[in-house]
Amino acid sequence: MMTKAEFISSFESFLRVKTIKLPPLLVTTIYSKGRKMFLSLLSREKPAVSYVPPEDETRILWGIKFNSCIFNAAGMFKHGEGYYTMAAQGAGAYLAGTSTGSFRRGNESKGVLHPFISYPFTGAASNWIGLPNDGHEELARRLARIDKVEGCPIGASISNSPETTDIKSLDEIIFGLNLFKSAQVDFIELNESCPNVPHQDSNGKTVYGLDFNLIERLEYISAKFIKKQNKNLPIIVKLSNDTEDNLIHPLLDILIELGFSGLNIGNTSTEYEHYKSKINPKDLDLFEYFTKNFGGGLSGRILKEKSFELTTAAAEYIRSKNLRNEFHIIRTGGVENIKDIRQSETAGISLNQWFTGYFENFARNGHELYKKLWERHE
């Protein structure tokens, strides 16, 4: 018998191809509200029978046991909810956040809070959410209360407060890192890839995406936190799928030198003109409306090729280095099936995260999505 979340997701996957005929603002409003309601419901459900992936899918990375190499991307569970749901489904790990130094309400425009839209014929989506969260302290407090399930480690995604560029912003990150370490999380992802929040460039101009102060921030985190640890807590840096190819090698050199433990190339894209040709014509009106009126980041199947290209280049470069400490590459963007996972594995990519792909699979297979995923590997 279907749970409420399974029924809603299955029904929505049928209904979404009909709703695109409605006015775009109305569709955006429906999806933006519905998405939050669905995630709240999903995070409170737990499958009747817990699933553990096949033993040969287990990965030991940084001394941490992952039941498999795939789990949710940041942004799915911003408030530390849903851990037991993910663990029971069979996720390889659980990632909470992204959190910032203090509460953020997130983006609102045209009367829509946290704008989101799905492109059903394309297998993609757009969002202009803007890092809504309750702050590092509240998220760390919630994660500290979780009784972990073996093989489903807990990660926390964090970011600086993007509107500030002074020492206060940097100290907020260090404060958050120490809070999450005390909360006994297993790894931390530093989110440097959100396209939906503003940054200031070196000339004081407001820009979106990769922050011009990234290197300075990484050096500060290394000096104030990473190099001061007695027991290493893996810190992974997450960059956008829009990262330029020629930056991968120099960025990896910097991350390795500073003592970081991994690189996640993923999240969303703001290269609307580039991806416009990949949007199904039936979704094009919604795409044009959302990107022109809200902007935001693109996610889903259309990012598959780029995410694989960038993470493969990163993995190849890491293999060419004789590293003393573990450093792993994570792929996010367009991951949706066993073929993608095996492709990552062959390229030397250690972990995968999914967001749009997760919901597409949940619509078809409900809480058995991980079970169905791994059954196809046999």
| Mean per-residue pLDDT pooled into runs of 10, the chain (378 residues) | 94 88 95 94 94 97 98 96 98 97 95 96 95 96 98 96 76 96 98 58 44 82 90 92 93 96 93 96 97 96 97 98 95 96 98 97 97 80
Residue located via tokens 């912003």: 169
What pLDDT does 165 receive? 65
d(CA 280, CA 287): 10
Crossing angle of helices 214-224/248-258, nearest 10°?
A: 20
Q: 325 near 317, Cβ under 8 Å? A: no
d(CA 48, CA 27): 33
Q: 87 near 367, Cβ under 8 Å? A: no
Q: Which domains does the chain have, with CATH numbers?
A: 4-375 (3.20.20.70)
What pLDDT does 212 receive? 56
What pLDDT does 209 receive? 43
- Nearest in space to 120 (alpha carbons), one of 253, 8, 284, 327: 284
What pLDDT does 339 receive? 97
Task: Give me 83's structure tokens.
Answer: 């851990």
What pLDDT does 376 receive? 62
Task: Give me 225's structure tokens.
Answer: 């936190």
pTM above 0.85, yes or no: yes
User: Following CA atoms 209, 211, 217, 221 in sequence, which dihedral angle do they give, to the nearest 10 degrees?
Assistant: 0
d(CA 177, CA 221): 9
